[in-house]
A and B are shown apart, each in its own frame.
Chain A
Amino acid sequence: MPGPGIQAKIPCPCRVGKDDPGPGGAAMKLNERSLAFYATCDTPVDNSGFLYKKGGRHAAYHRRWFVLRGNMLFYFEDRASREPVGVIILEGCTVELVEAAEEFAFAVRFAGARARTYVLAAENQAAMEGWVKALSRASFDYLRLVVRELEQQLAAVRAGDCAPPPRRAPALAPKENGCACAVWSAEPPAPGPAPGPAPGPAPGPAPGPGPAGAASRPRPGPPPPLPPRRRVSEPNGPLHAASFVRLHQQYGQEVRALRSRWLRSRAQP
């Protein structure tokens, strides 16, 4: 068992040689350099502050500078350090208050046999509560749940807003519906590569300065979600020409309405 102050982990010198297979039973490779850059990049952090971290079961507490980014909790020797000492990957953890000799203590606990529990202590009650709240909602899973929920809510709100139009003579310009896909996938006038979800480096909807030295260009946010799927009244029945035209008009109307709303919202600062 490693001595006090040393984290329990598989000691393996081959961890440093990232692309070598190493001797039998090599430790898992991880893009640690990228992790270190993620830890110190200039995008806003989700939480930061000094916490005391217990070294091991019978070890002393060490004061470290903690930075929460996404589902990664990095810790540094001190605030000015350029590289983290370590990181706690928070996926699948629970956060709870603990009885400890140290005041304002809480634990980040993982499931499984022989799983490590990280005991941390804040410097006051408010800080402790802030950390417990932030860490318990830090997982990617949680965020994904919220995003999916909002996606559905937005679709529902939009569906409720678009009543089907009264019947009228079909006078649609063919390209209006023909480019329905293009309306959703075409990126608005900002310069940028292929449309679709933006990859990691882009700073987000507000075209601001990207991270230093980045080749990414200012890019608006993700394209709006597609209009909600509609269940055709006769899914297996014959689709008559008349009802098709009606659907055609209805969708075209919806697309135009949603599109103009989207363009209006983008025009706002």
Chain B
Amino acid sequence: MRYNEKELQALSRQPAELAAELGMRGPKKGSVLKRRLVKLVVNFLFYFRTDEAEPVGALLLERCRITQEEPSGFSICFMEDPERKYHFECCSEEQCQEWMGALRRASYEFMRRSLIFYRNEIQKMTGKDPLEQFGISEEARFQLGGLKA
């Protein structure tokens, strides 16, 4: 699949929601744990060799599951192949929890559901649609009905 790699690289240089040096192990059998600078920007998780400016790779964080592994580690797997896991090791359980929380909130789909939730709540309490001020109240992607698969 073609993609605009240059723009993705530029994105990896944007301010991160969260960034840290973690241990990372790829999904392939026999992968070794490596130190990587891991950076969460919007719904992408970038990982760099610790001394390099360009990322080794990126993971789009949609339709993924974050699972705790041992006290201070977690894994990311994707819905189409849950056996294929990317493992990460943190230096403490706190750091692990912080990352897991951030990664779970990092998907566009999560953001969308939050928006619909808040919109609904505000509408119920005030009788007004808060999206009108943004001019996006009619957009299909923000309708409650759009959540049903």
Contact with B along A101-130 (1 / 0, CB 8 A): 000000000111011100000000000000
Sort chain B's interface into a size bin: 35 or more
Question: In the complex, what residues of A have CB within 8 A of residue B56's CB?
Answer: 28-29
Asked, given contacts A150-B115, A199-B104, whether A92 binds B7 with beta carbons under 8 Å apart, the answer is: yes
Contact with A along B98-133 (1 / 0, CB 8 A): 000100110111111111111101101110001100
The answer for the CA separation of A266 and B88 in the assembled complex, in Å, is: 36
Contact with B along A130-147 (1 / 0, CB 8 A): 000010010111011011
Question: In the complex, what residues of B have CB within 8 A of residue A203's CB?
Answer: 147-149
Asked, given contacts A86-B1, A154-B122, A222-B114, whether A34 binds B60 with beta carbons under 8 Å apart, the answer is: yes
Are A143 and B112 neighbours in the complex by a CB distance under 8 Å?
yes
Are A31 and B78 neighbours in the complex by a CB distance under 8 Å?
yes
Question: In the complex, what residues of B have CB within 8 A of residue A146's CB?
Answer: 115, 131, 134, 136
Q: Which of A31, A42, A46, A224 contacts B59 (CB 8 A)?
A: A31
Question: In the complex, what residues of B have CB within 8 A of residue A201's CB?
Answer: 63-65, 79
Question: In the complex, what residues of B have CB within 8 A of residue A34's CB?
Answer: 59-60, 62-64, 78, 80
Question: In the complex, what residues of B have CB within 8 A of residue A141's CB?
Answer: 42
Q: Which of B2, B42, B118 contacts A151 (CB 8 A)?
A: B118
The answer for the CA separation of A49 and B121 in the assembled complex, in Å, is: 33
Is B71 interfacial (CB-CB < 8 Å)?
A: no
Is B53 interfacial (CB-CB < 8 Å)?
A: no
The answer for the CA separation of A40 and B27 in the assembled complex, in Å, is: 23
Are A200 and B79 neighbours in the complex by a CB distance under 8 Å?
yes
Is B144 interfacial (CB-CB < 8 Å)?
A: yes
Are A204 and B113 neighbours in the complex by a CB distance under 8 Å?
yes
- Which chain B residue lies CB-closest to A210? B149
Q: Which of A112, A114, A205 contacts B113 (CB 8 A)?
A: A205
Q: A33-B80, A116-B7, A206-B144 are in contact. List 7 more A-B contacts (CB 8 A).
A: A150-B118, A197-B101, A200-B64, A201-B65, A203-B148, A205-B117, A206-B148
A-side residues, CB < 8 A to B, are: 7, 9-10, 19, 27-38, 41-44, 46-47, 69-72, 83-89, 91-93, 110-112, 114-116, 134, 137, 139-141, 143-144, 146-147, 149-151, 153-154, 157-158, 161, 196-201, 203-206, 208-211, 214-216, 221-222, 224-225, 265
